[in-house]
Amino acid sequence: MRAFGVGLALLVLASFASLDLQWAQFFSIDALRSMGRFMAEFFPPDLSPAFVQKVALGTLETLAMSLLGTALAAVAGLLLALPTRGRAPMRLLMNALRSIPELVWATLLLISAGLGPFAGTLALAFHTTGVLGRLFAETIENAPPGPAFALRAQGVGGTQVFFYATLPQVLPQLMSYALYRWENNIRAAAVMGVVGAGGLGQLLYFHMGLFHMGKTATVLAAMLLLVAAVDAASYGARRWLTR
Amino acid sequence: MDRLRDPAWAGRVFWTGAALVLLWPLGVATEFRPWQLFMPDTLKVTSRFLGSFFPPALSAEFLALVARGAWRTVAIATAGVTLALLIAVPATLLSARVLSISALSGRMARGPFWLRQAVRWMLIVLRSIPELVWALVFVRVVGLGPTAGVLAIALTYGGMLGKVYGEILDSGETHATETLLRNGAGRLQTLAYALLPQNAAELTSYTVYRWECAIRSSVVLGFVGAGGLGQELDSSMKMFNGSEVATMLFVFFGLVAAADGISGWLRRRLG
């Protein structure tokens, strides 16, 4: 463990040494003042009806992206988690899907899907398929084998064994994983617009770029409310599932 | 085939139908038109882009650039998590319920209670704002470069680590802590002799896991100008340079797999 400690210390030191971090500039009176001015400009948030309506539409779009992306990923993840033979290539595919972050998927998919929420939804679905596929596969593997074995011993085929024995056992767990990823995806969907893939992020990036700080504040507030609402909904749903 | 009739078919049909009805407006709202992907025009663009992935760019000059970018990505993540600890550790000490002396005799006194609530609210605010938004803000203040990325990771991850550290400490067995506190040990002594020995493995394991996540985040932060692999990837994407994108995606896979491997190995060793 000592070698680990030394290695860790070296990694941290090398990281700080090799990055040209501008602390002096960040903690200078100048930067603090501009930070203060920046924050002060957030107030008052722009609450004109026209803009609020635009933000509301963006919020709905973000919510729809996260829901549809998660739903597609749950279905695709289940399909990838199913095959019991030839698992290695599936695992490789899921790892590849998972290790590319949503936002990077979005930039790659923009070329085929074009600017807008469609690319963002697909990006969420791709990354989440990798994550959920792995979790689903583990859950299905760890399900108690008794009921499946009982059906199999009666001569029931593989598909039916899955639908009548394995799936009912693991479904609450699978749903709760999907809900948990939904909480993650609402956060990812909120910033997807920074690369042009739809949702609230697009409004945020646009208005922040033009220094419309009042409008930026409204968008940020909508983001925080949306994330909090989704967290609460998902928490409630998971409580209900594991009752 | 009467034997195979599904006893629950009505429910299944209903729920499938209900799910489709619910999904429909979502598809409309997200302009979900998968057939667009298979239009001849789109297919041509996609296949040209994917075709340009091969062969990946492997010139020595470009590889050096990618290696530098990859190191910066790791360095931003590491420095960010280190600074996040500076936020998370004091916040945990302030907000952990097990370290409350007044709570030993029933209800916590009002002052300490509100102090703990205030710290928790601060942590919630820190982690509710996505790191990308923090980075956008800091890029405005300190300019393009790794400082914005490090600060963004430090704030968001400080919020996450602080919350989870508090939960880990509060969820454990309280016998040892209570005994020490009741016998007049100070809070820091209690932390060092009761809480840390109990929870060190779990705390370390979660920190290492977060470091792994931070590496993924730091790639994304490159897209808004915080430097590292993400920034290189962004500029190659903008020039439709498929072969460079392919190389960087491979390096990125390797990086994530390595971080995954190191963090998995460490967590297994910690138990």
Return the axis-axis angle of helices A117-142 and A102-113, rounded to nearest 10°: 130
Interface test with A, best of B15, B30, B49 (most A CBs within 10 A): B30
Nearest to B29 among A64, A104, A107 (CB): A64
| Closest to B80 in 3D by CA, of B156, B142, B144, B138 | B156
Token pair in block for residue B3: 């034997």
Cα three-residue angle A8-A13-A14, rounded to 5 degrees: 95
Residue B41 lies in a domain: no
The whole-number pLDDT of residue B1 equals 46
Interface test with B, best of A19, A41, A110 (most B CBs within 10 A): A19
DSSP structural state of residue A97: H
The whole-number pLDDT of residue B46 equals 84
Report ipTM (2 d.p.): 0.82
3-state secondary structure of B169: helix
Interface contact flag, B252 A100, Cβ < 8 Å: yes
Of chain B, the percentage scoring pLDDT greater than 70 comes to: 97
Return the axis-axis angle of helices A2-18 and B60-95, rounded to nearest 10°: 110
Residue B230 lies in a domain: yes
Q: Quick check: A128 pLDDT over 90?
A: yes
Q: Mean pLDDT throughout A23-51?
A: 79
Residue B193 lies in a domain: yes
Cα three-residue angle B72-B74-B79, rounded to 5 degrees: 90
Lowest mean pLDDT among A48-57, B46-55, B111-120: B46-55
Q: Mean pLDDT throughout A102-129?
A: 91
Residue B40 lies in a domain: no
Q: Quick check: B2 pLDDT over 60?
A: no
Average pLDDT, chain A: 87
Domain that holds residue B133: 60-270
Q: Mean pLDDT throughout B240-268?
A: 86
The whole-number pLDDT of residue A95 equals 86
> Do the Cβ atoms of A86 and A99 come closer than 8 Å?
no
Number of domains in chain B: 1
The whole-number pLDDT of residue A86 equals 67
Cα–Cα dist A21/A18, whole Å: 9
Fold topology of A48-241:
MetI-like fold (1.10.3720)
Output the pTM of the full model.
0.85
| Closest to B55 in 3D by CA, of B250, B255, B247, B248 | B247
Name the A residues in 136-175 with CB < 8 Å from any B CB.
Answer: 160
Q: Quick check: B229 pLDDT over 50?
A: yes
Q: Quick check: A78 pLDDT over 70?
A: yes
Cα–Cα dist B171/B13, whole Å: 43
Interface contact flag, A220 B249, Cβ < 8 Å: no
Cα–Cα dist B192/A189, whole Å: 41
Q: Mean pLDDT throughout B72-90?
A: 94
Q: Quick check: A129 pLDDT over 90?
A: yes
Interface test with B, best of A111, A160, A162, A185 (most B CBs within 10 A): A111
Q: Mean pLDDT throughout B106-122?
A: 87
Q: Residue ranges of the domains in chain A?
A: 48-241
Partner B contacted by A28 (CB < 8 A): no
Question: What's phi and psi for A28, nearest 5 deg?
Answer: -70, 155
Lowest mean pLDDT among A26-35, A120-129, B69-78: A26-35
The CATH number for B115's domain is 1.10.3720.10
Interface contact flag, A195 B266, Cβ < 8 Å: no
Radius of gyration of chain B (CA): 25
DSSP string, B174-199: -HHHHHHHHTT--HHHHIIIIIHHHH
Token pair in block for residue A196: 């042009």
HSE-up (13 A, CA, CB side) for residue B124: 12
Per-residue pLDDT of B132-171, as tens digits, reads 988 988 888 787 888 889 999 999 999 999 999 998 998 8
> Do the Cβ atoms of B151 and B134 come closer than 8 Å?
yes
Residue B39 lies in a domain: no
What amino acid occupies position B214? A
Q: Quick check: B3 pLDDT over 60?
A: no
Going by pLDDT thresholds of 50, 70 and 90, the confidence category of residue B240 is: confident
- A36 or A216: whose pLDDT is higher? A216
Interface contact flag, B30 A120, Cβ < 8 Å: yes
Cα–Cα dist A161/A236, whole Å: 31
Nearest CA in chain B to A188: B130
Contacts of residue B29 in chain A, CB cutoff 8 Å? 60-61, 64-65, 117
End-to-end CA distance of chain B: 52
Average pLDDT, chain B: 87
Per-residue pLDDT of A179-205, as tens digits, reads 999 999 999 999 998 888 888 999 998
Token pair in block for residue A133: 């596929």
Torsion sign (Cα): A120, A122, A123, A124: positive
